[in-house]
Amino acid sequence: MRLFNRWILTVFVACCALFNVAANSSELNDGLANKLSVENASSVATGPHIQVALISEYQDLNPDQQNWIGILLEPETHWHTYWQNPGDSGEAPQMSWTLPDGVNAGEIKWPLPQKINVAHLVNYGYDGQNLLMLPLNFDNPKQYKNGDTLHVSVDLSWLVCQEDCIPGWATLNKTFDINRNNTPSDSFDLFAKTRKLHPQNKTLSAQYETTDQHIVVSVKPPVQSDWQLFALKSSVIQHNQNQQQLTSESGNTHFTLAKSDYFIDENKPLKFLLSDGTKGYYLTAAFNSVSANNNSPNQLESQTLAALLLLALMAFAGGLILNLMPCVLPVLSIKALSLQQTNLSIGNKLAYLIGVLVSFNLFALVVILLRQGGESIGWGFQMQAPWFVALMAFLFLAIALMLLDQIRFGSSLSGIGQNLVSGHGFSSQFFTGVLAVLVASPCTAPFMAASLGVAMVSPPAQTLLLFNSLALGFALPLTLIFCLPVLAKILPKPGAWMESFRQFLFFPMLATVIWLIWVYLNQTNSAALFILLISLLCFALFCWLVNHSKGMFKALFLLAVIASVILPFYLNYSAEAHTPQAQQQNNQLAYNPQKLAELKANNQLVLVNMTADWCITCKVNEQVAFNSNEVKAILNEPNVHYMVGDWTNKNQQILTFLQQYKRAGVPLYVVYAGDGSEQVLPQLLSPSIVIEAINQAKKELNHEN
């Protein structure tokens, strides 16, 4: 019975509390009562543990300017009210304004909130006195004369808490005089003081990504400070979890926030307040759509007409610029200079253009066919094949030697070489075009990258259109020179200088050879490089010997030339090709499905890391987990293999791997203990997670053995 009495008592006290908040709560539901009470209504109300008031910065309202009014919440000591996101529990004050027509209330300016801990939960709010300011604006200032009055009314609800909470409601009323003399009110200083607690007006932009349990936000704060992020909505982050911060050299700070159980992933922009307790900025974080777009790299996207035309134009411009690339320019300039004096038939004039068009269309056809066969390729895919790079090195060396007059093929072998410099016939012109396209292929000119990227994944018709635009742009300058004698006249007259110029062009050609050798090294290993260099030397030597010998020796040396070209291919296929990353760092391997299968079959421990340069979460993990000394040490152990797949660019093999794990994007971390077991790690790592996973895998391997 005693307990029952206690309960009755508490209910009674609570009811009194509710009723104490003036008879206002009933007014909320009763418009008539509301109207009647206007006359003697007050701008101040009292509830249990709190007093609320409607106040203004200036005594009167000035229609010519923005007027600041506010709701002053004054709870008792140790009692608090809430920020716009109250945190784990609680409720922000709500206001509903009744204003004359033509007068509008703006948004509430929330001062920087404090974190308030309640057991293991966290609230955001204000301990003690707090002023919620907002502007009043007049649509038509002239409508109001000095001496007029204006009535302002607000239905206010609040929650005031210590640990226990008491809600309250009140309608506050105030009649202002209209006056343009700006006389400060008693609360003037309070407004000035409160302004210092407002976030800055500037809104920062940021990006975010989500993992299963976290939201990673990347933002560049204007200054360094002990920043914390506060989500403007309660259902975004777990308020009671620590925020991890990483600052990159570019000044971007990555915040790792525990995702709320109530967060719904819709890739929509998220709003936060960045605050260090004394200053703050609002920020809008956009979903990192780069990773979203890359989620389906193999999609054959259909472009809108306008976008397609723009891309075609870019391809055309790219083709034009391709003429200036160091690998192409020497070949073409020699051709241009040698031809200006000759009269060509129309067919011969256009032969070069036809050669270029045919080559590019062949290239496009190969792309389309490979794609239909299910392969995913990118521009320069041919450059990914070491044999192609080596062959190009021989070709460029041959051109270089030709420029130094060290190769002069006899009439019996009247091939492209000789005619490149002096021939005028249709076939010579045509093959000049083919050769130009061939030598252009290692060079990706500006503007071309975007349109070629699209061409690689577009439907066949679009691929053809883009490649032809590129071809037209590429062939245009030389074709114009052939067709318009006026243009030819602008070119310098041939003479002795041409010989020197031709010899000078030997150097850019040699530079191209050096570059190709460097590419080759990255694709193979130093042994293969050595063989290639020796072969190139032999190639040059025998070319020179062919040039300086006669009869049977000439034929012999010619065979030697061919042998030097074949040599590196013959030797290389017997040696195991190395992956470029293998040389880069410790025992880090580039992702390769065959290699992975092999390691698994050999009962090896493999950690696969799928990453990309544009992935913020991946960068955070690399910094926090993979760069720590403990993890580096364990990855360096002899039977631990660290395999990295870089998805910065489209890659079919990596996509297939991700799809095996039902992922559409990176990061993805998997630890394999041989063929026995696999463990998918969380998307956000700490050194201990990685080490534990590897130790776990080790145990399993030992157990099996």
Partner 1 sequence: MKIKQLISITLLALCSGFVQANIKVDSPAPAFTLNNEKGEQVSLADYKGKYVVLEWTNDQCPYVKKHYQSGNMQNLQQKYTDKEVVWLSVISSAPGKQGYVEADEAIELTQSRNAAPTHVLFDPSGEVGKSYGAKTTPHMYIIDKQGVLRYAGGIDSIKSANPADIEKADNYVDLGLTALMNGKEVKNKLTPPYGCSVKYKS
Instruction: Report the nearest approach of partner 1 to the CB of residue 257 (Å).
Output: 10
Among residues 101, 107, 186, 261, the one that binds partner 1 under rule CB under 8 A: 261
Question: Which residues does residue 171 pair with via DSSP β-bridges, in sequence order?
Answer: 155
Of 541, 531, 536, residue with least CA distance to 514: 536
Question: Is residue 624 involved in binding partner 1 (CB under 8 A)?
Answer: yes
**Near partner 1 by CB under 8 A, which window of 33-41, 85-93, 370-378, 655-663?**
85-93
Question: Is residue 157 involved in binding partner 1 (CB under 8 A)?
Answer: yes
Give the x-and-dash track for 87-126 against partner 1 (CB under 8 A). -xxxx--x-----------------------xxxx-x---
Instruction: Report the nearest approach of partner 1 to the CB of residue 677 (Å).
Output: 23
Question: Is residue 238 involved in binding partner 1 (CB under 8 A)?
Answer: yes
Instruction: Report the nearest approach of partner 1 to the CB of residue 665 (Å).
Output: 17
Instruction: Report the nearest approach of partner 1 to the CB of residue 212 (Å).
Output: 9
Distances (CA, A) of 260 to 170, 250, 401, 666: 33, 29, 68, 21
Among residues 244, 295, 333, 382, the one that binds partner 1 under rule CB under 8 A: 244
Question: Is residue 611 involved in binding partner 1 (CB under 8 A)?
Answer: yes
| C-alpha–C-alpha distance, residues 483 and 337, integer Å | 14
Among residues 24, 37, 67, 234, the one that binds partner 1 under rule CB under 8 A: 234
Among residues 51, 382, 549, 686, the one that binds partner 1 under rule CB under 8 A: 686
Distances (CA, A) of 318 to 135, 312, 472, 589, 590: 54, 10, 10, 35, 32
Question: Is residue 646 involved in binding partner 1 (CB under 8 A)?
Answer: yes
What is the separation of C-alpha 488 from the centre of its chain, rounded to a whole number of angstroms?
47
- Give the position of tokens 């780069």: 290
Cβ nearer to partner 1, comparing 353 with 643: 643
Question: Rule CB under 8 A: which of 528-587 touch partner 1?
Answer: 581, 584
**Near partner 1 by CB under 8 A, which window of 82-90, 327-335, 358-366, 481-489?**
82-90
Among residues 214, 349, 502, 600, the one that binds partner 1 under rule CB under 8 A: 214
Cβ nearer to partner 1, comparing 333 with 653: 653
Instruction: Report the nearest approach of partner 1 to the CB of residue 67 (Å).
Output: 29
Q: Are 615 and 689 in contact (CB under 8 A)?
A: no
Among residues 39, 101, 249, 266, the one that binds partner 1 under rule CB under 8 A: 249
Instruction: Report the nearest approach of partner 1 to the CB of residue 262 (Å).
Output: 5
**Near partner 1 by CB under 8 A, which window of 125-133, 158-166, 504-512, 597-605?**
158-166
Cβ nearer to partner 1, comparing 68 with 83: 83
What is the separation of C-alpha 450 from the centre of its chain, rounded to a whole number of angstroms?
16
Instruction: Report the nearest approach of partner 1 to the CB of residue 364 (Å).
Output: 31
Question: Is residue 4 involved in binding partner 1 (CB under 8 A)?
Answer: yes
Q: Are 198 and 183 in contact (CB under 8 A)?
A: no
Q: How many residues bind partner 1 (CB under 8 A)?
A: 65
Give the Cβ contact number of residue 176 at 10 Å: 19
**Buried b / exposed e across 289-315, counting CB within 10 Å, b at 16+?**
ebbeebeebeeeeebeeeebeebbebb
Of 272, 266, 311, residue with least CA distance to 292: 266
Among residues 140, 235, 345, 659, the one that binds partner 1 under rule CB under 8 A: 235
Q: Are 198 and 83 in contact (CB under 8 A)?
A: no
**Near partner 1 by CB under 8 A, which window of 24-32, 270-278, 549-557, 564-572?**
24-32
Q: Which residues contact 610 (CB under 8 A, 6 or more apart)?
A: 591, 644, 645, 647, 654, 657, 658, 666, 667, 668, 669
H, E, C per residue of 98-146: ECCCCEEECCCECCCCEEEEECCEEEEEEECCEEEEEEEEECCHHHCCC
Q: Which residues contact 483 (CB under 8 A, 6 or more apart)?
A: 349, 350
Decide: helix, strand or coil at residue 227.
Answer: coil
Cβ nearer to partner 1, comparing 238 with 604: 238
Pairing, β 588-590 against β 253-258: unpaired
Instruction: Report the nearest approach of partner 1 to the CB of residue 696 (Å).
Output: 18
Single-letter residue type at 292: A
List residues near partner 1 by CB under 8 A. Answer: 3-4, 7, 10, 14, 18, 25, 28-29, 88-91, 94, 118-121, 123, 157, 159, 161, 163-167, 169, 213-214, 233-235, 238, 240-249, 256, 258, 260-262, 264, 581, 584, 590, 611, 613, 619, 622-624, 644, 646, 648, 684, 686, 688
